[in-house]
Chains A and B, each alone.
Chain A
Amino acid sequence: MFDILIKTLKTGTVTTKYPKKPDIAPQGFRGMPELIPDKCTFCGECAKSCPPGVICLIENGQEKSLTLSICGCIFCGMCEEVCPVGAIRLTQEYELASKTKDELLTIIRRTA
């Protein structure tokens, strides 16, 4: 009985204060992928390497668009690894809940 009390007192309170106090994911955490539109060359390497196939490169005549849906993303970081110009990277952002699928899209377009 006393052992249990001692252990309890020694441990103290361990519960986090989240979400009252923000909790920042550790360095190197694989969170939301972020596209950097200025750097992107629309080469399509990320789209080819994406295991669940949530990155799509669409070429429509003069216009090229790159669509990234975080909805089915498995946060593996393959896109970041293969991108030759560093136009896509995983951030530490993890609070991604959304009420619609549409809000989870990132689209960048460029007309030649």
Chain B
Amino acid sequence: MSEEYIEAIRKKFGNLILDETVSNNETYLTIKKDDAVHICDYLYHTLRSALLSMFATDERARDGCFKIHYVFSCKGDAFIIIQIKIEENLPKFTTLTHKIPSANWYEREIQDMFGLVPVGHPDPRRLIHFEDWPAGLYPLRKDFDIRTKPERVKGEYIYRRVEGEGVYEIPVGPVHAGVIEPGHFRFSVAGEPILNLEIRLFYTHKGVEKLFETMSIDKAVFLAERVSGDNSAAHAVAFCQAVEKLAGIDIPPRAKYIRTILLELERIYNHLGDIAGIATDVAYPFGAAHANRSKELMMQLNEKLTGSRLLRGMNAIGGVRRDIGDKKEMISKELDSLQKDFRELMELLVSSPSVADRIETTGRISTEIAKGLHVVGPVGRASGIDSDIRRDHPYAAYPKLEFKVPVSKEGDVNARTNVRADEVYESITLIRQALSRLHEGEIRKDSGKIPDGCALGYTESPRGETFYWVHISNGRIERCKVRDPSFCNWLAIEYAVLDNIVPDFPIINKSLSLSYSGNDM
């Protein structure tokens, strides 16, 4: 449990801890602003805790200050959240990026949304707002009205430059050639090999976190489903679990199993789509057609079960809205044919030399880089990071089910494809287990009034760990921080493409399966 971690921190930094509160499996430590870096560094490097999320809150109305929260994961299903207070008249904090590289984007996000400046940050450019956003406007501050439409100002965004003889820049996007989301990529190349890639995202920034604060809790579930469209179930479940944890609602076992089935169905169709995408990008349309067909059949199954092809509208605070138990036979029949089809497809894909030639050793992410950037999900697991929220911080019905977590060390596109394929098989067995244990019972509990407080909700979405930190006050959402897995994984692409050739970029991008919308929000 987190006890030994807390004990170690107490021993070393005892006099620096101002306040300590425990709620469920989360321990909140309030410390002095200047000591945050030391404690976070100790947690990260000595105790080997991962930095899961980092965010600010505007608590000027209640405590007269802003707060920054650093969320660390501990062994044995526990979390430590380090909090520091920042006064309004001195909106600065010391950067952590030099010690923990994965803090990079979180700090820039805080800078853009709250106006708190990370002092000493290696890349203090804007992240979410574009150059035409006026200075001094911070959307997540409570005194910013969500409907404000700031005028566009003149400004310039400066890209990193690579100079030298024969070095060219290739700008790509935001409107791409394929049917994908918007983002800008700037390649610096010398001939074919990529010397540097700079990504620029946040084209789809819609102000979702601010929008959460204006919505009632019931409605917010639907917004959570639409943070990252193809991970609807994972986001909705993470949000619901945060609220349920906070309110102390133990949802009925049948609802837990149904949620598990939904989450695994989502994983299957997403992974099939990714494998189809990789097959398309390596010019193996036969494989792509079959993988796409399997994916479509799974989406049709989703529609028959839930009324929505993307599994939307199923989750609610306190359980699920629709029972799928009466369709057990349909699910197991579909899974049988999927398993057979998928096995045949993977055999063909693996045995094809033209596929192997394109995906082996392509887009390698070393374990070191993956650890430093906190790369999550199948991408992380393909680079040798053995972590899976379903096993490390179990939720829903996962503690009662048996499954393996496939891990590979190579970290190339091939490894990522294989990890995904193995996960599809695991998901099939998970759904079979869940179906066999689906006992009669109710599917939803009345949530009643939600008490004040804050809690973390988490799921392992097809892309990796998804976190929701929800703070409720007077029955309304005070702050909802969403951490989509893509927010961690995007930075890895800048490393994955180095020394690869430009034509391999689409495959690498597809194999990382990044969500723009979940990242930009």
The reply to whether A25 and B303 form a contact with Cβ atoms under 8 Å apart is yes
CB A33 to nearest CB in B, in angstroms, measures 13
Partner of A49, one of B218, B223, B307, B308: B218
The reply to whether A76 and B303 form a contact with Cβ atoms under 8 Å apart is no
Q: Say yes or no: A28-B322 contact (C-beta < 8 A), given A3-B348, A75-B308.
A: yes
The reply to whether A51 and B219 form a contact with Cβ atoms under 8 Å apart is yes
One digit per residue, 1 when the CB lies within 8 angstroms of any chain A CB and 0 when it does not, for chain B 192-222 equals 0000000000000000000000010011001
The reply to whether B348 and A4 form a contact with Cβ atoms under 8 Å apart is yes
CB A65 to nearest CB in B, in angstroms, measures 23
Q: Say yes or no: A77-B219 contact (C-beta < 8 A), given A7-B348, A29-B307.
A: no
A19 at the interface (CB under 8 A from B): no
The reply to whether A11 and B293 form a contact with Cβ atoms under 8 Å apart is yes
Taken together as a complex, chains A and B put the C-alpha atoms of A30 and B303 apart, in Å, by: 9
B252 at the interface (CB under 8 A from A): no
CB B287 to nearest CB in A, in angstroms, measures 9
B126 at the interface (CB under 8 A from A): no
A81 at the interface (CB under 8 A from B): yes
* Interface range, A side: 20 to 34
- Secondary structure at the A interface, as helix, strand, loop or mixed, is loop
The reply to whether B290 and A26 form a contact with Cβ atoms under 8 Å apart is no
Partner of A51, one of B223, B303, B322, B348: B223
Q: Say yes or no: A30-B307 contact (C-beta < 8 A), given A76-B222, A77-B313.
A: yes
Partner of A76, one of B215, B313, B348: B313
The reply to whether B303 and A26 form a contact with Cβ atoms under 8 Å apart is yes
Q: Say yes or no: A76-B312 contact (C-beta < 8 A), given A7-B348, A28-B307, A29-B307.
A: yes
Q: Say yes or no: A7-B304 contact (C-beta < 8 A), given A30-B313, A76-B312.
A: no
Q: Say yes or no: A74-B348 contact (C-beta < 8 A), given A26-B303, A81-B321.
A: no
Nearest CB in chain B to that of A82: its residue: B218
A9 at the interface (CB under 8 A from B): no
CB neighbours (8 Å) of B402 from chain A are none
One digit per residue, 1 when the CB lies within 8 angstroms of any chain A CB and 0 when it does not, for chain B 241-257 equals 00000000000000000
CB neighbours (8 Å) of A81 from chain B are 321
The reply to whether A51 and B293 form a contact with Cβ atoms under 8 Å apart is no
Taken together as a complex, chains A and B put the C-alpha atoms of A30 and B345 apart, in Å, by: 33
A14 at the interface (CB under 8 A from B): yes
One digit per residue, 1 when the CB lies within 8 angstroms of any chain B CB and 0 when it does not, for chain A 7-47 equals 11001001000000000011111100000000000000000
Nearest CB in chain A to that of B324: its residue: A28
Nearest CB in chain A to that of B348: its residue: A3
Q: Say yes or no: A30-B308 contact (C-beta < 8 A), given A75-B313, A77-B313.
A: yes
Partner of A7, one of B222, B303, B306, B344: B344
Q: B residues touching A (Cβ–Cβ < 8 Å)?
A: 215, 218-219, 222-223, 226, 286, 290, 293, 303-304, 306-308, 312-313, 321-322, 344-345, 347-348, 351
- 15 new A-B contacts at CB < 8 Å, known A30-B313, A51-B222, A74-B222: A3-B347, A3-B348, A7-B345, A8-B286, A14-B293, A26-B303, A28-B304, A28-B306, A29-B303, A51-B219, A74-B226, A76-B222, A76-B312, A77-B307, A77-B313
For the complex of A and B, list the 4 residue pairs with the smallest distance between their C-beta atoms, beginning with the closest.
A51-B219, A30-B307, A26-B304, A51-B222
Q: A residues touching B (Cβ–Cβ < 8 Å)?
A: 3-4, 7-8, 11, 14, 25-30, 49, 51, 74-78, 81, 90
A and B contact pairs by CB, cutoff 8 A, 23 listed: A7-B290, A7-B348, A11-B290, A14-B293, A25-B303, A26-B303, A26-B304, A26-B307, A28-B304, A28-B322, A29-B303, A30-B308, A30-B313, A49-B218, A51-B223, A75-B308, A75-B313, A76-B222, A76-B312, A76-B313, A77-B307, A78-B218, A90-B307
